[in-house]
Amino acid sequence: MDSQAPAAPLSEAERRELDRKQRAAAKLRENLMRRKGQSRARRAGEADETQGLPASSPSAAKTDESS
């Protein structure tokens, strides 16, 4: 008994849904790889190379010395 049925042509909606799911899966894999890299860098004591976060910049880490 063959477990794979012959592939029926996909409708436009099914094709869009499949494309959307594939893009989402790719984004999730990309995010996972980035987060694993960040975790490894933290364990190794390396600087976080995240861009776009004000808290990660050296100037944001300085304390207010006037008080």
Q: In the prediction, which pLDDT does 10 show?
A: 85
Q: In the prediction, which pLDDT does 60 show?
A: 52
Here the tokens at position 44 are 């190794």
Predicted model pTM: 0.50
In tens digits, the chain (67 residues) has pLDDT values of 455 666 778 899 999 999 999 999 999 999 999 999 999 888 887 665 666 656 555 665 555 555 4
What is d(CA 38, CA 32) in angstroms, rounded to the nearest whole number?
10
Number of CB atoms found within 10 A of residue 41's CB: 14
Question: Is the Cα dihedral 47, 51, 57, 61 positive or negative?
Answer: negative
